[in-house]
Chain A
Amino acid sequence: MGDPVTSTPARGRGELEREVLACVAAAPGPVTANDVLADLGGGLAYTTVMTTLARLESKGVLTRSMPGRAYAYSLVGDPGQVEEALAAHRMRRVLDSRGDRASVLARFVAELSAEDEQTLRTLLADADAGPGGTS
């Protein structure tokens, strides 16, 4: 019984990176190369895991610390940007799903707090000043 992951087909480089990232993200805390190796198992070499972790760290996806004798890696706590992108996307999606964009937008702006309104004004001013033009 157990997980017979012994003779699975070989992974490509990108595939391995994704798997190692998924492994680190699934762990409750920081993990070492040994932890990853133990979790993924199946014919991976220690150095391969080490290299992959280091590459993910250099890409800025993982951060590392040295709590003991080996580097421990964890997911970079930067979901903020991703969350923002997804939230912006959701707002656009809602806007697109209504026929009357203009009135939805007008209503939205009307119900904003003073602070939000100021933020929006600043953003619009920035957009006008920028090279992107008025679109």
Chain B
Amino acid sequence: MGAAASMLTPLVVGVILALAGRRLGDLLPPATAVPLLTLASLVTALSTGFVLAVAGFDALAQLPVVASAGTWSARIVAAREPVPLALGAACALACVALMGAALRRFVSSGRDLAVAAAACRRLGRGTDGLIVLADETPDAYALPGLSGRVVISTGMLRALPAAERRVLLAHEAAHLRHRHHLYVQVAELSAAANPLLRPLAGAVASAVERWADEDAAQAVGERTVVARAVARASLAAQCGGTSRISTTGVGTRVALRVADTFALARTKAMLAPAPEPHRALTATVLALMIAGAVAAIDTGSHTEHLFEMARAATITSS
């Protein structure tokens, strides 16, 4: 009800999601966790940004210069405004800084994706999207593009027995098929716009790997093979030192690489049974996200009402 409460809600939702993010990523099936957490972080980032913008605008509107230009009563705004002037000014500054950060992130994501897509085109079709690099350094990654490429070095292929090579191929193909890089980029963008959401971006990045592992398990029909493949591939990549490819990075920032830091957790997850769908948990996350968005909209309509009154005040007084 209260305007101040509405303004705080998106912030509180952000904190709750940030605290629960990692656990949510572990508890939910990854194919649910990835879209759910990505959507939740995007909506929460937008809600928080909107509330900050409104608070900042309310503060600016109390300045006589702005008020006369906008033909509303600065006094009425100052009297009814739920946010103190100093806090509102801080909100305005934060809003500008975060929007700047989000914009920078958006541009760099877009450029990284474009660069990766250009590399895909230059690499050619490959064999059904598979490019084998004659390189003894073990490395494997999915390079996103309109139709992406899976790049694997001969060093990595040699490190794995046939069944595990099949897992690797299925894992990388799953990244491309489900467009995992887009989820990762959207979660990163949200974290740039609202640093509170940083843990959620991490949860999405690791859930994306788990999702590809679950897909690979479906393809080969056995979870323990996937567990072994993940363990062996990441060991090979670590022992193989830094590859010529990975240090300089073919679209490093957007390529989803097999040997990431989540290897241990992923191996454990594949040795355990597949996670069950968790309706209540999913619904709770959605409810939190919606609560934040509704509160933001409520803040907006409250402010609109405030300015209607402030305008009416100038009309009656003149």
Task: List residues of chain A with CB under 8 Å of any chain B CB.
Answer: 3-5, 7-9, 14-15, 17-19, 21-23, 25-26, 28, 39-41, 56, 59, 61, 75, 77, 79, 81-83, 85-86, 88-90, 92-94, 96
> Nearest 8 pairs between A and B by C-beta?
A14-B128, A26-B157, A79-B134, A85-B122, A89-B119, A90-B248, A18-B130, A25-B132
Option from B118, B166, B250, B251 in Cβ contact (under 8 Å) with A19: B166
CA distance A14 to B170 in the complex (A): 12
A86 and B119 form a contact (CB under 8 A)? yes
Q: Does B89 touch A at the CB level, under 8 Å?
A: no
- Asked if B162 and A86 sit within 8 Å, CB to CB, the answer is no
Nearest chain B CB to A88 CB, angstrom units: 7
Question: How many residues of chain B are within 8 Å of chain A by beta carbon?
Answer: 43
Question: By the criterion CB–CB under 8 Å, are A5 and B132 in contact?
Answer: no
- Subset of 19 A-B contacts with CB under 8 Å: A8-B166, A8-B220, A9-B219, A14-B128, A18-B128, A18-B130, A18-B150, A19-B166, A22-B152, A22-B168, A26-B154, A79-B134, A82-B123, A82-B133, A86-B119, A86-B250, A92-B115, A93-B250, A93-B251
Most buried by B among A7, A40, A93: A93
Determine the distance from Cα of A88 to Cα of B130 in the docked complex, in whole angstroms: 20
Rounded to whole angstroms, the CA-CA distance of A93 and B111 in the bound complex is 10
Chain B residues close to A by CB (< 8 Å): 111, 115, 118-119, 122-124, 127-135, 150, 152, 154, 157-158, 160-163, 165-166, 168-170, 173, 218-222, 225, 245, 248-252
| Chain A residue, CB-CB nearest to B111 | A96
Q: Is the CB of A77 within 8 A of B134?
A: yes
- B134 to chain A minimum Cβ distance, whole angstroms, is 4
CA distance A81 to B133 in the complex (A): 10
Asked if B123 and A3 make an inter-chain contact with CB atoms under 8 angstroms apart, the answer reads no
A9–B220 contact, CB under 8 A? yes
Question: From A13, which residue of chain B is reached at the shortest CB distance?
Answer: B128
Contact among B115, B128, B161, B163 for A93, CB-based, below 8 A: B115
Known: A8-B220, A89-B250. 10 other contacts (CB 8 A): A9-B221, A21-B132, A22-B169, A23-B165, A59-B127, A82-B124, A89-B122, A90-B249, A93-B249, A96-B111
Question: Could you tell me if A19 and B169 are in contact, using CB atoms closer than 8 angstroms?
Answer: yes
Q: Which residues of B contact A25 (CB under 8 A)?
A: 132, 154, 157
Known A-B contacts A17-B127, A21-B127; the reply to A26 vs B163 at CB < 8 A is no
CA–CA, A4 and B161, complex, Å:
12
A117→B152 CA distance, assembly (Å)? 34
CA distance A8 to B167 in the complex (A): 12
Asked if B251 and A21 make an inter-chain contact with CB atoms under 8 angstroms apart, the answer reads no
What chain A residues lie within 8 Å of B134 (beta carbons)?
A: 75, 77, 79
Pair B162/A90 contact, Cβ less than 8 Å:
no
How far in angstroms is the closest Cβ of chain A from B126? 8
Residue of A nearest to B154 (CB): A25
A92–B218 Cα gap in the complex (Å)? Answer: 38
Q: In the docked arrangement, what's the CA distance between A83 and B135, Å?
A: 10
Cβ-closest chain B residue relative to A86? B250
Contacts of B115 in A (CB 8 A): 89, 92-93, 96
Cα–Cα, bound, A129→B278 (Å): 63
Inter-chain CA distance A41–B225, complex, in Å, is: 15
Given contacts A22-B169, A26-B154, A39-B162, contact A86 B245 (CB under 8 A): yes
> With a CB–CB cut-off of 8 A, which chain B residues contact A14?
128-129
Does B157 lie within 8 Å of A22, measured CB to CB? yes
Q: Once the chains are docked, how many angstroms separate the CA of A4 from the CA of B163?
A: 9
Decide if B165 touches A85 in the complex (CB within 8 Å). no
Bound-state Cα–Cα, A49 to B40, Å: 47
Residues of A within 8 A of B130 (CB): 18, 21-22
List chain A residues, Cβ under 8 A from B221: 7-9
Does A15 contact B169, Cβ atoms closer than 8 Å? yes
Q: Which residue of A lies closest to B164 (CB)?
A: A3
